[in-house]
Structure 1
Amino acid sequence: MEKQNILVMGAGSWGTALSLVLQRNGHNVWLWSLETPNLIEDCISEVKDILIVVPSHAFRETLKRLKPYLTAKHRICWATKGLENNSGLLLHQVAEQELGAKQALAVLSGPSFADEVVAGLPTAVTIASSNLDYAQELVKLFHNQSFRPYTSSDIIGVQIGGALKNIIAIAAGIADGLGFGANTRTALITRGLREIMRCGLALGGKTDTFMGLAGLGDLVLTCTDDQSRNRRFGYALAQGKDINQAQTDIGQIVEGVWATREVRALAKQLEIEMPIVEQVDNVLQGFSSPHEAVQALLSRQLKPEFDES
C-alpha cells in the first residue's frame, strides 16, 4: 500500500504498539501525547487518518482538542475500549456529538496485548465502521505478516464487546484470587459472554460479532492471562487489597472500574439482567466482599441456561 501520514493520539502502551505496526508497514507516524500538544497543529494538514488511543474518560476531551483542526478529508478511528464515564455513551455516540454525523468513524478492537504486538507475535483484530470502504482501507494500513485485521460493519457490537469484557475479567480475577479454579473461571466467561450479548443485542449489535474476535476472543484473552490488568485487579481485590491499592500496584488505568457502574446503569435502563456486572459493582462500591459476591451469583434462582420460549 502507498505510504500514508498518520496521527496517533495516545502514547501509552497500546498507542505505541499500534504506532509501531504502522511504522513497520512503511507509514509516517506522528505520536501525540499531552507532552506534545502542538503536534496536532504541526501535522494535521499532512494527515488524512487519525487514530485515537487514549483512556475512555479522556476520549471526549481528545476530540475537543482535535475539532478545531479537522477538515472534510480527515477520518477518525479509535482503539479505546470502554464507555464514557458518567454518561454511559458508546464512543461513536460521543464522536457524533462532538464532530457531527457526517464524520468518518471506525473502531479497532479485539484480543491484543500491547507487548505481544510490539514483539511481532501473530495477532488478529476487528476494524468496524458503518463505512466499509473506510474499514477496508484501515485494514490495508495495518495488515502485515503478524497483524491481521478483519472488517465489520457492527460498530456497536465491537464497542460493547471491548468495553464489557473488562468487567467480566475483574470477576474472573476475583474468582481466581479466591482459589475457585478453572471450573469457576470457565463458568464466569461463558455466562459473562451471555451478559455481553444480552446488552449488545439490546443496543443493536449483531450475534456474530459477539462470537468473534471483538467478543468471545477478547473476553477469553482478558479473563485468562496475567497480562490483563482487569484480571490482575480482580485478583488483588480477592487477596484483600482495596480498590486504590490494587490500581496503584497495577500502575495503569483499569478500564473495567470505570465501566462497571455505567454498564449496571445501562442494564437497568434496558431492563435486562446482568448479574455478574451487578456483583462486580457491589464489590467496587463496598456493598459486598468478593466472597459474598460469588455466593450471591451461586444462590440465584434456578433457571434454564437459555430462554427457550
Structure 2
Amino acid sequence: MAKLFICGAGGFGTSLSVMCDQNGQTVTLYSPFQKEIEMLSSEREHKKLLPGIVIPMSVQMTWKLPEQIDAELVIIATPSFAVRSACASLKGHLAPETVVSCVAKGFEPETLKPLAQVIGEELPENQRVMISGPSHAEEVARGVPTTVVAASDDQAAAEFVQDILMSPTLRIYTNDDVIGVELGGAVKNVIALAAGITDGLELGDNSKAALMTRGITEIARLGVAMGAKSETFAGLSGIGDLIVTCTSMHSRNRRAGILIGQGKTALQAIEEVGMTVEGYTATKCAWELAKRYQVEMPIIEQVYAVLYEDKPPREAIGALMGRSKRHEAESNWLVK
C-alpha cells in the first residue's frame, strides 16, 4: 500500500482519488480552494464533473498543504496553465525521494515549455513521470478498462508509477520518450477541436477520418523535429488519445468545436462549455512551435485562423482541400 497526494480536485484528480482508493492506496486529495474541498468533503461527490461517483470516506481531503507531504507519489492533476504554480507551492514540502507525476496535457503558454520541463525547473530534486493516453475522467472513475502510458527519463521512476497505479481497470505501459508522449497528449486537443467543428458543420465521417489521419501526421512531424520518436505517435499517447478525444462527447475540446461549427465564436464556445478547453491554448502553442521548428502544419494553421483570427470554418476547410498536390508518403512519419 502506497501513500498518494493528488494535487488538483477537478474531474481527473477526483477520479484518480476514487480509483486509487479502491485499489488499496492511501489517498489525500488536495486543492488550494477551500470552498471546493469543503463541498467535496460534505457531499462526497463532484456533482458538476463526476455526477453519481461517490468519493469514499477513506479519501482524505485538504485545502492546506502540510509542512511535509507524507507520500511516495504526488500526482499533479491541474490544468496545464496551473502546473508551474502547483509545483511552486509544493517546494519545501516534498522529500527528494518522492516521485512527482503529472496527468495534465499541454504546454506552458508563456514559454512553450513541455510540462515535464516546467516540473523539473520547480522541483529539480524529484523524479518526474508524465501520464498520458486515452483516459476520460468520467470513465476512469467508473472503472471502465483504461490503458495509458507512464513516460520518464528514469525507467525506475516510470516502473514505480506503473506498480502503484496499475489495477484491474487501469493498465499502464512505460515509455522513455517523454517529449513524444507529452506532445501527442497536448496537440491532439487541437485536432479534437477541429473534429468538433466538422461535427458542428455536419460534414460526416469521411471528413473526420481524414482530419484525424492527417492530424496525427502533423503532430508526429512536429514531434520528430523536437526530438521525439516517430513510433510514439502510433501508440496510446498519440493515435489512441487522438481517437478518444475526437469521437467522445466527454471531450470538452470536441464539444467546443461543435459549437464553433454551429456558428459560435471560440470564446463564446468556451464560455458555454464552462470548463477549461485545453485545445484553445494548445492551438496557439502548436502554431508558434511549428514556426519555431519550421514544420509544416496546415491543419494547425487553419485551426489557429478560426480560433484567433475569426476565419469562417468553411473557408478554413476550403484552404485545406485546395492545397497543392502531394504524395501521401511525403515526410511519412512511419517510414524511417
Q: Which of the five TM-score ranges fits, normalised by the shorter chain?
A: over 0.9
Residue 121 of structure 2 aligns with an amino acid whose one-letter code is: Q
* 8 Å Cα contact 1:175/1:294 also seen in 2: no
One-letter identity of the residue aligned with 1:278: E
8 Å CA contact retained: 2:143, 2:169? yes
Post-superposition Cα deviations, 1:62-114, rounded to whole Å, max 9, x if no partner, equal 111011223312210000000111211101111222223x5300011100111
Does residue 70 (structure 1) correspond to residue 68 (structure 2)? The answer is: no
Count of matched residue pairs: 305
Aligned equivalents of 2:185 and 2:135: distance in 1?
A: 11
Which residue matches 2:185?
Answer: 162
Question: How far apart in 1 are the matches of 2:217 and 2:131?
Answer: 22
Deviates more, 1:162-171 or 1:234-243: 234-243
Find the counterpart in structure 1 of residue 313 from structure 2.
Answer: 290
Q: Which blocks of at least 5 consecutive residues in structure 2 are unaligned?
A: 35-61
Match of 1:47 in 2: 71
Unmatched 5+ stretches in structure 1? none
Counterparts in 2 of 1:1-309, with a 5 A limit? 3-36=1-34, 39-41=64-66, 44=69, 46-100=70-124, 102-307=125-330
* Counterpart Cα distance in 2 of 1:268 and 1:220: 26
Q: TM-score, normalised by structure 1?
A: 0.95
* Equivalent position SS for 1:125: strand
Query: How far, CA to CA, are the matches of 1:12 and 1:43 in structure 2?
Result: 23
Contact map agreement 2:32 2:64 (CA 8 A) in 1: no
TM-superposed CA distance for 1:142, in Å, is 1.1
CA offset at residue 174 of structure 1? 0.8
Structure 2 distance, partners of 1:47, 1:218, is: 29
Tell me how far apart the structure 1 counterparts of residues 316 and 331 of structure 2 sit (CA, whole Å).
Answer: 28
Paired residue secondary structure (2:326) = coil
Q: Which moved more, 1:144-153 or 1:30-39?
A: 30-39
The TM-score with structure 2 as length reference comes to 0.88
1:243 shift after superposition: 2.1
- In 1, Cα distance between equivalents of 2:220 and 2:331: 16
Q: Cα deviations across residues 252-281 of structure 1 (Å, max 9, x unaligned)?
A: 100000111111010000000011111111
Separation in structure 1 between the aligned mates of residue 159 and residue 165 of structure 2, nearest angstrom: 10
| Greater helix share, structure number | 1
